[in-house]
Structure 1
């Protein structure tokens, strides 16, 4: 980043934040504190009303705003592709907002920058290979959940799990305090406190039906932050398979969340996975056909055999 770009970025950071320390600006722009002092001095000499408080940091005079700032072709592409992503993946409200934002950005771009950004965008496309498309029901659920999170109101829904409960049921009624949303491998996940399980749980929006926002307020746990939240790793079951080396890339690409290790042996590739329940890998292993064999646990070997027998009867 050259000096002019850095000084403009400093002004933007000061406008965004109330008070910023020179040390924080130095870390943000990967330069020395002395350089930040010189930049602040240069901006002050240009008439930017920057105030410095010893021991606290720098701030802009209240009410001061930067004049409209133009975008480079690369910056315009980043914003426009971001609008494309939001339209594809978020609910209808944000889809409409994304369209409007895209039109406004394109309208204010100078013609040369607009033409260049259009040319660059023609060489790139957002694809979600191997990931499911965000369906209409999932987008509807996303809109309801998003509003409930902002309003701090509980939600209720029927939820269909991928694997059955010990009682054999796969569907249950849940009441949840929604904390946040995350897009994981093409699936929108809701993170929240489940009243039924009395703990934080993750729910796939595509498996929800009858979702409703309740007139029941809730409060976020003290210190909870979605950006820094990490779910506990409760994958305690181990699965060992023997696979043909030719599908090593396929295994690495499709099973990376469960993947532990792979070792080459004379009779094939030994691959180890760690899962919550062995059945989580059932459909994945079946997709590899005869190129993979389950060695452990025996219960999963039996399930694979049962599914193979069902398939044989159909064919």
Structure 2
């Protein structure tokens, strides 16, 4: 069997896997994924149909498997099994607790279809892999909170939440969730807040109560990164000139505080930010390296920084 037919067998098998995992698969997407022509994808789909796989759809519209059709358990390669073990170790340390039991159940199903030799492989190597996480997990007030949030996204239904701010103030909000994301050891919800009539981020561990309503979303939303990358009108532009010798210590934090541009100059590194934490969060972060930085703009940040330093000095 020559290399051409081996590649085709691998590709056709992968297309079948795509059909199993998605409700609709477009030929154009498959062609881009496997770096072949759309005509080749059409022929591969015809090969599957000739093999007795009941595929619904046609060229131009997308393909799907007939509803209710069951396929034999998927068999995994040794490399895939090893990747599962590594991923499981990562999930044990970083997966949100409300998803932990569901992930564990899913992994048990994966293990159930493995060959005996692969099960022995897992038993022999899983204790040789570990992930060290030095950040304590946050405690949620509500069990299964992220599945509730994800259900609201899938069903496009509004959520009613009780939320505690960093100032310990509690408010009731009606939100339309765009998505969830993990950053700096916390899970966040990106949502449209009907109270503020704007997009807001909510830290999951600060949600004290949550209720899925039957009210549909009032508008359509794009992908979560569209809203994280495009600042709202409430953000303030900040420019700093930072000493080169300290810049290496700001690798992660500068992105967290809204870094949009970084330019190397003769006098240092010029950093530009878009932040909505100009009154509290940004000055408190800046004070940790203020002796190595100059505030280029805005003038109000210099005033906030001086006031913060004065308050600290009065306590010493």
Shorter-chain TM band: 0.7 to 0.9
Gaps of 5+ in 1: 163-169
Q: What's the C-alpha RMSD, in Å, of the aligned pairs?
A: 3.7
The answer to whether the 8 Å contact 1:10/1:25 transfers is: yes
User: Residue 65 of structure 1: SS of its match in structure 2?
Assistant: coil
The answer to whether the 8 Å contact 1:84/1:98 transfers is: no
1:66–1:123 distance in 2 versus 1, CA, 3 Å: same
Instruction: Report the counterpart of residue 202 of structure 2 in structure 1.
Output: 203
Instruction: Report the counterpart of residue 231 of structure 2 in structure 1.
Output: 233
Instruction: Report the counterpart of residue 3 of structure 2 in structure 1.
Output: none
Gaps of 5+ in 2: 1-5
1:150–1:4 distance in 2 versus 1, CA, 3 Å: closer
Provide the C-alpha distance between the structure 1 equivalents of 2:22 and 2:151, rounded to a whole number of angstroms.
26
Q: Give the TM-score normalised by structure 2.
A: 0.75
User: Residue 250 of structure 1: SS of its match in structure 2?
Assistant: helix
Q: Number of matched residues?
A: 303
Instruction: Report the counterpart of residue 113 of structure 1 in structure 2.
Output: 118
Instruction: Report the counterpart of residue 44 of structure 2 in structure 1.
Output: 39
Question: Which sits farther off after the overlay, 194-203 or 40-49?
Answer: 40-49
1:77–1:196 distance in 2 versus 1, CA, 3 Å: same
Instruction: Report the counterpart of residue 224 of structure 1 in structure 2.
Output: 221
Q: Give the TM-score normalised by structure 1.
A: 0.75
The answer to whether the 8 Å contact 2:174/2:194 transfers is: yes
Provide the C-alpha distance between the structure 1 equivalents of 2:223 and 2:197, rounded to a whole number of angstroms.
19
The answer to whether the 8 Å contact 2:231/2:274 transfers is: no
The alpha-carbon deviation at position 188 of structure 1 amounts to 1.9
The answer to whether the 8 Å contact 2:26/2:62 transfers is: yes
The answer to whether the 8 Å contact 2:76/2:114 transfers is: yes
Provide the C-alpha distance between the structure 2 equivalents of 1:275 and 1:19, rounded to a whole number of angstroms.
39
Provide the C-alpha distance between the structure 2 equivalents of 1:190 and 1:108, rounded to a whole number of angstroms.
35
1:104–1:254 distance in 2 versus 1, CA, 3 Å: same
User: Residue 97 of structure 1: SS of its match in structure 2?
Assistant: helix
Instruction: Report the counterpart of residue 173 of structure 2 in structure 1.
Output: 175
